[in-house]
A = this chain, B = another copy of it.
Amino acid sequence: MILTKKITIQAACVFNMLFFGINAFAQQPAEFVNPLIGTSNYGATSPGPIAPRGMASISPFNVAGAQNRLEKDSQWLSNPYVNENTFLTGFSQVNLSGVGCPDLGVILLMPTTGAVETNHLQYGSAYSKEVSKTAYYSVNIDKYKVKGEFTASKRVGVSKFTFPKGQSNILLNLGLGLTNEEGAMVKVVSSTEIEGMRTVGSFCYNSPEDAYPVYFVAKFSKPADKFGVWKKTPKYEGVEAQWMGYNGKTRMMDNTIKTVVGDSIGTYFTYKFAKEETVEVKIGVSYVSIENARENLEKETGNKNFDAVYKETYDEWNEELSKILVEGGSYQDKVIFYTALYHTLIHPNTLNDINGEYPKIKRTKIGKTTGTRYTVFSLWDTYRNMHPLTSLVYPKQQSDMIKSMLDMYDENGWLPKWELNSTETFTMVGDPASIVIVDACLKGIQDFDIYKAYYAMLKGADQTENNPLRPGLKEYIEKGYLSTNYAGPVSTTQEYNTSDYAISLLAKALGEKDDYKRFTKRSLSYQKLYDKDLKLLRPRLANGKWYEPFDPEAGSNFQTNVGFIEGNAWQYAFMVPHDIKGLMKLMGGEKAFSDQLQKVFDIKQFDMANEPDIAYPYLFNYIKGEEWKSQEMVKKLVREYFRNEPKGLPGNDDTGTMSAWLVYSMMGIYPISPGDPIYTITTPMFDKVTIKLDPRYYKKESVVIEREINSDDKIKQIQLDGKPLNSYFISHDAFVNGKTLKVIQY
């Protein structure tokens, strides 16, 4: 162990010398990342290693077994690791980060010692000494005195186990997984290689027919002394069963190279070590085929050892995270900032194999891309800030994401809504892809077929029959709103309005005047749901009458209610980001608007943990003289909900949406109206924020946000390149073409 540690330390030193010298910072951005943030309080993030937008990742799996506080089968649980749990049953090789439904969390590697035990409830272990950092996770598996270390390249998870002397085993459990979805195939190719697949899917318990395979190839650095496959078969009833002495028992199939399929299957690789030894296991994955998984493994990690893979991925992360350099601010602030930026760089993630192949939507064909095919589009969440952030800092990625969305349109006939590994789950409401595309397009990312995108948007917005994106569209177009005949009719109307507004912006830019007018009008129809007595939006019946009895507070904490999706009337009251001025007018002017907005917070209806109201703290910027409230509120929320600890996210990260909120908020700008290329401004939480701009999309090399604080008070002036801005809003163009945005408090 001591020797190994020395080597690791030396290797780390070499990293520092060779790779950490990108800029003049004492500490590199990647060093501030703490992946444990969000691994409690239902943040649903993973403490394990992943490459930026990687397909493979490794997560400790500690949600099986009744000894765990949060047990996967006893409740709705969407992640394979919960920080306060204690019973570890393996390390899953494909995982989602910050999603609200369980999926993936399969292909579980587990080191054990002694006789081979295949029941995870038996072989599971307590664990200790977790280390979680960029591209690296390690833990001691107490029961076996085994140390596990983990890293990953984009499509390959790499595990390194340090075993004590004696019999050691590496189990690959293809039965145990995060969800009820089952079915696997495995074949031991040799004493150093395994290939197979595992079925996953039925995300949010929807679309079971779209359940899909993840293929893998595992390579071991040392040949096993013995290997085998286990299979636990179902228990049969009836006449024939009486002759089956093995009925319902686990079969141990030693040293076989046959293909084994089943629900509860796995492999064991066994070693007899005369002294402490390490074994490295590389697991390449693919959503196309075993062959591609093998090619991914070979081309990405070839003969590289654990340390070499770790170094490369660490370096890649550091480069990505260095696109925003922050100066000043506390260590803790840097940790939460860079961890948040890290969390925005996980999803959407890469779907295509290294040879460009990927499964098309519905898996009717294999596609091939020369760029990156992205997947995991939780668009109801991410249209609000994650994609706008990507457009600003990683525009090439955003461009490829849009191209991926348009390819999905080609494949499926519709833009995505909640796409996951080429299954369209149609989860949540609204038609958010349009907003994402328009937002990027109007920010200058235009290297895609804009007219195709436009027509795709129009199809989603106009096809009233058999439209999977916009249920109730006919009623929406006719009445301006969805009635209570539909689920969450108010929320959905608001979402459609927001999308229609985005479409109107693109129509305007394209000179499509009729569409521009039509969609501008459509985008304001939420007003028909405005109850001037309540000063809130309220569901209407199909006959136009208000839904009665109506409790505006019903539906907080994700309770189901008539009117709203994952929220209530207060949480949705201001969710018309494109028409805040119009809403203000409806409410009776600035004062009434301000009072009502303040009330959301005062009566504790503001929910930092879900998307509908997360922009609200910034809405005071619309009221001249009350901007300080936004400054105060944002600062307060950052301090209250975002911390350097496992509970350091307000709730589910929603594939980086909560984290993107933090990144923006700490930089002092926020994309207040997705689709509109505009930011609103608050006090940055660092002295200086330098955003490097991609020369393929932006003229300037970088843009800087500075703060000058002479008091712990409110903003007194905002300057762009030394000149007063006289506004708490700045266009994207002005921002990226300026040099320095300076926020002055004195």
Chain A interface residues (CB < 8 Å from chain B): 72-76, 179-180, 182-185, 197, 199, 202, 205, 208-213, 215, 231, 233-234, 236, 238-241, 243-246, 249, 251-263, 359, 362-366
Q: How far is it, in angstroms, between the C-alpha of A539 and the C-alpha of B336 when the chains are bound?
A: 84
Instruction: A74-B239, A209-B254, A261-B261 given; name 17 further pairs at CB < 8 Å.
Output: A73-B238, A73-B239, A73-B240, A75-B239, A76-B243, A183-B260, A185-B185, A197-B259, A205-B245, A208-B246, A210-B253, A211-B251, A213-B258, A255-B362, A255-B364, A257-B365, A263-B263
Cβ contacts A to B, 25 pairs, < 8 Å:
A73-B238, A73-B239, A74-B238, A180-B236, A182-B233, A182-B234, A183-B231, A183-B261, A185-B185, A185-B261, A197-B259, A205-B243, A209-B254, A210-B253, A213-B260, A213-B261, A234-B263, A255-B364, A256-B364, A257-B363, A257-B365, A257-B366, A261-B261, A262-B263, A263-B263
Q: Which residues of B contact A213 (CB under 8 A)?
A: 258-261
**Residue of B238, B255, B260 touching A199 (CB-CB under 8 A):** B260
Decide: B73 and A180 in contact? CB cutoff 8 A.
no
Q: Which of A182, A236, A258 has the most chain B CB within a 10 Å cutoff?
A: A258
Instruction: Tell me the minimal C-beta distance from A214 to chain B in angstroms.
Output: 10
Q: Which residues of B contact A234 (CB under 8 A)?
A: 182, 234, 263
Q: How far is it, in angstroms, between the C-alpha of A743 and the C-alpha of B199 when the chains are bound?
A: 69
Decide: A258 and B183 in contact? CB cutoff 8 A.
no
Across chains A and B, which 10 residue pairs bring their CB atoms closest together, nearest first? Answer: A205-B243, A208-B246, A258-B363, A183-B261, A209-B251, A256-B363, A213-B259, A261-B261, A209-B253, A255-B364
Q: Which residues of B contact A182 (CB under 8 A)?
A: 233-234
Q: How far is it, in angstroms, between the C-alpha of A632 and the C-alpha of B327 when the chains are bound?
A: 110
Q: Which residues of B contact A251 (CB under 8 A)?
A: 208-209, 211
Instruction: Tell me the minimal C-beta distance from A175 to chain B in angstroms.
Output: 12
Decide: B179 and A362 in contact? CB cutoff 8 A.
no
Q: How far is it, in angstroms, between the C-alpha of A209 and the C-alpha of B233 when the chains are bound?
A: 11
Q: Which of A199, A246, A261 has the most chain B CB within a 10 Å cutoff?
A: A261
Decide: A256 and B362 in contact? CB cutoff 8 A.
yes
Instruction: Tell me the minimal C-beta distance from A587 to chain B in angstroms.
Output: 39
Q: How far is it, in angstroms, between the C-alpha of A184 and the C-alpha of B243 when the chains are bound?
A: 22
Q: Which residues of B contact A241 (CB under 8 A)?
A: 180
Q: Which residues of B contact A252 (CB under 8 A)?
A: 209
Q: Assuming A74-B239, A243-B76, is B208 touching A257 (CB within 8 A)?
A: no
Q: How far is it, in angstroms, between the C-alpha of A205 and the C-alpha of B258 when the chains are bound?
A: 19
Q: Which of A202, A208, A234 has the most chain B CB within a 10 Å cutoff?
A: A208
Decide: A364 and B205 in contact? CB cutoff 8 A.
no
Q: Which residues of B contact A212 (CB under 8 A)?
A: 258
Instruction: Tell me the minimal C-beta distance from A249 to chain B in angstroms.
Output: 8
Nearest-neighbor residue (CB-CB) of A359 within chain B: B258
**Residue of B243, B257, B364 touching A257 (CB-CB under 8 A):** B364
Q: Which residues of B contact A359 (CB under 8 A)?
A: 257-258
Nearest-neighbor residue (CB-CB) of A258 within chain B: B363
Q: Which residues of B contact A254 (CB under 8 A)?
A: 209
Decide: B244 and A180 in contact? CB cutoff 8 A.
yes
Q: How far is it, in angstroms, between the C-alpha of A363 and the C-alpha of B257 when the chains are bound?
A: 6
Q: How far is it, in angstroms, between the C-alpha of A184 and the C-alpha of B184 when the chains are bound?
A: 10
Nearest-neighbor residue (CB-CB) of A289 within chain B: B259
Decide: B199 and A261 in contact? CB cutoff 8 A.
yes
Q: Which residues of B contact A74 (CB under 8 A)?
A: 238-239
**Residue of B73, B202, B239, B362 touching A246 (CB-CB under 8 A):** B202
**Residue of B76, B210, B233, B366 touching A208 (CB-CB under 8 A):** B233
Q: Which residues of B contact A258 (CB under 8 A)?
A: 212-213, 359, 363
Q: How far is it, in angstroms, between the C-alpha of A73 and the C-alpha of B253 when the chains are bound?
A: 26
Q: Which of A183, A234, A249, A260 has the most chain B CB within a 10 Å cutoff?
A: A183
Q: How far is it, in angstroms, between the C-alpha of A184 and the C-alpha of B72 when the chains are bound?
A: 28
Q: How far is it, in angstroms, between the C-alpha of A262 and the C-alpha of B259 when the chains are bound?
A: 13
Q: How far is it, in angstroms, between the C-alpha of A258 and the C-alpha of B260 when the chains are bound?
A: 18
Q: How far is it, in angstroms, between the C-alpha of A183 and the C-alpha of B260 when the chains are bound?
A: 8
Q: How far is it, in angstroms, between the C-alpha of A210 and the C-alpha of B231 when the chains are bound?
A: 11
Instruction: Tell me the minimal C-beta distance from A554 to chain B in angstroms.
Output: 22
Nearest-neighbor residue (CB-CB) of A241 within chain B: B180
Decide: B364 and A259 in contact? CB cutoff 8 A.
no
Q: How far is it, in angstroms, between the C-alpha of A245 and the C-alpha of B180 when the chains are bound?
A: 13
**Residue of B75, B184, B210, B366 touching A261 (CB-CB under 8 A):** B184
Q: How far is it, in angstroms, between the C-alpha of A255 and the C-alpha of B362 when the chains are bound?
A: 8
Q: Which residues of B contact A363 (CB under 8 A)?
A: 256-258
Q: Which residues of B contact A257 (CB under 8 A)?
A: 359, 363-366
Q: How far is it, in angstroms, between the C-alpha of A388 and the C-alpha of B366 when the chains are bound?
A: 55
Q: Which residues of B contact A233 (CB under 8 A)?
A: 182, 208
Q: Which residues of B contact A205 (CB under 8 A)?
A: 243-246
Q: How far is it, in angstroms, between the C-alpha of A255 and the C-alpha of B199 when the chains are bound?
A: 17
Q: How far is it, in angstroms, between the C-alpha of A179 and the C-alpha of B247 when the chains are bound?
A: 13
Q: How far is it, in angstroms, between the C-alpha of A185 and the C-alpha of B183 when the chains are bound?
A: 9
Instruction: Tell me the minimal C-beta distance from A73 to chain B in angstroms.
Output: 6
Nearest-neighbor residue (CB-CB) of A199 within chain B: B261
Q: Which residues of B contact A261 (CB under 8 A)?
A: 183-185, 197, 199, 213, 261-262
Instruction: Tell me the minimal C-beta distance from A195 to chain B in angstroms.
Output: 12
Instruction: Tell me the minimal C-beta distance from A52 to chain B in angstroms.
Output: 27
Nearest-neighbor residue (CB-CB) of A72 within chain B: B240
Instruction: Tell me the minimal C-beta distance from A434 to chain B in angstroms.
Output: 27
Q: How far is it, in angstroms, between the C-alpha of A73 and the C-alpha of B239 when the chains are bound?
A: 6
Q: How far is it, in angstroms, between the C-alpha of A359 and the C-alpha of B209 when the chains are bound?
A: 35
Q: How far is it, in angstroms, between the C-alpha of A258 and the C-alpha of B180 when the chains are bound?
A: 19
Q: How far is it, in angstroms, between the C-alpha of A231 and the C-alpha of B234 when the chains are bound?
A: 16
Q: How far is it, in angstroms, between the C-alpha of A209 and the C-alpha of B259 when the chains are bound?
A: 12
